Amino acid sequence: MSEDASHYAGPNRVFSGVQPSGDLHLGNYLGALKKFVALQDEMECVYCIVDLHAITVWQDPKVLAEQTRHIAAAYLASGVDPSKAIVYNQSAVRAHSELAWYFNCVARIGWLNRMTQFKDKAGKNSEKMSVGLYDYPVLQAADILAFKATHVPVGEDQKQHLELTRDIAAKFNHDFNTPNFFPLCEPLIKGPGAKVMSLRDGLSKMSKSDPSDNSRINLTDDADIIAKKIRKAKTDPGEIPGTKDGLEGRPEVANLVGIFAALSETTDEAVLAEYEGQGFGVFKPALADLAVEKLSPITDLMSRYLADPEELNRILANAADKAAEIADPIVGDVRKIIGFCGA
């Protein structure tokens, strides 16, 4: 598509979301939440708890609201400030679902057939998956574009979905002859922590749905559990190399070095220089101490927020009103552009 993001004249705006589909882990924190906090002083930020996405796989109705508050508490405990950023849950703002339908009529089936995350999640059971899971990237495009968001902080796993969002925006702009109505959003992916891998397999990403709890560090894990999981993390009999070349073919070691760098806000190179020649008997305890130092305050604060569910509900409801104030007029314009009677 030939359109250039730089021709969009609207304001810069950040949008991102996390599913309330289970405990957040270190990958979600480093790949998403930590970036959310850094951006809230730079641009208008809209941070959603994407409960419509969560129900693309079964969610127990008795715990969905609680899981949603859990993610809200994780946002706030990580440093997202509701007086600066809009923090709400997706189902409370109708614009998401409405725009997703319009985009279903813009996106092509061939585009969705290429989405690797659906293939990974569905495996051999794609016929038994919900239509929603297949359509997930279209809803994600609607989330972003209902706010005309220009910047989207996510982990590397979302790269393909954001390319689809750009394709949908460009096709809409082109089909309806409304150049630059939707911006072509810029993914904010780079940096340490963009792809945190499983502690048990350096080739699979750290994920909420991995059946092994030892594969991930949850934001609710206490210091002992964090230390135990890092102690048990898969490595090899070698030592920490002095340069990144020495990490070739050692994905588990590369992952631990990357986690160390992301948590200490430095580079892989600096970590390698500090620990060159050390064994894992030295490196793992240092990493465990660092992880506990960075994550424990978040875990503690989360518990305090979760102790007051009414206050979390209030924060989410207020923010949903603010989110609707931005998204409703944009979706209203889309209705007019499409040409609906009465729009």
Compare residues 173 and 207 and give the one whose CB is closer to ligand AQP. Answer: 207
Residues in 125-164 that interact with ligand AQP by CB under 6 A: 154-155, 157-158
Record the tokens describing residue 148, joined without a space.
Answer: 């005309």
Q: Kindly state the number of chain residues that form the binding site for ligand AQP, as judged by CB under 6 A.
A: 20
Residue 223 and residue 292 in contact, taking contact as beta carbons nearer than 8 Å: yes
Q: How far is the CB of 53 from ligand AQP (least distance, A)?
A: 7
Catalytic member of 208, 228, 234, 322: 208
Compare residues 50 and 288 and give the one whose CB is closer to ligand AQP. Answer: 50
Q: Is 207 in the site for ligand AQP (CB under 6 A)?
A: yes
286's CB contacts (< 8 A; 6+ apart) are: 260, 275
Among the listed residues 12, 43, 201, 208, the single contact to ligand AQP using CB under 6 A = 208
**Which long-range contacts link 253-261 to residues 24+ away (Cβ below 8 Å)?**
253/202, 254/202, 255/196, 255/197, 255/198, 255/199, 255/202, 256/230, 256/283, 256/284, 256/287, 258/192, 258/193, 258/196, 259/26, 259/30, 259/193, 259/196, 259/287, 259/291, 260/286, 260/287, 260/290, 261/192
Q: Is 209 in the site for ligand AQP (CB under 6 A)?
A: yes
What phi-psi label fits residue 285: left (phi over 0), alpha (psi between -120 and 50 degrees) or beta? alpha
Q: Is 299 in the site for ligand AQP (CB under 6 A)?
A: no
Catalytic member of 205, 229, 284, 294: 205
Clarify whether 195 is annotated catalytic. Answer: no
Q: Is 203 in the site for ligand AQP (CB under 6 A)?
A: no
Residues in 26-45 that interact with ligand AQP by CB under 6 A: 27-28, 30-32
Compare residues 157 and 289 and give the one whose CB is closer to ligand AQP. Answer: 157
Nearest-angstrom CA–CA distance, 52 and 67? 13
3-state SS assignment for residue 132 = helix
Compare residues 21 and 173 and give the one whose CB is closer to ligand AQP. Answer: 21
Residue 53 and residue 17 in contact, taking contact as beta carbons nearer than 8 Å: yes
Compare residues 48 and 92 and give the one whose CB is closer to ligand AQP. Answer: 48
Q: Tell me which residues touch ligand AQP (CB under 6 A).
A: 18-19, 21, 27-28, 30-32, 154-155, 157-158, 194-196, 205-209
Active site residue ranges: 121, 205, 208
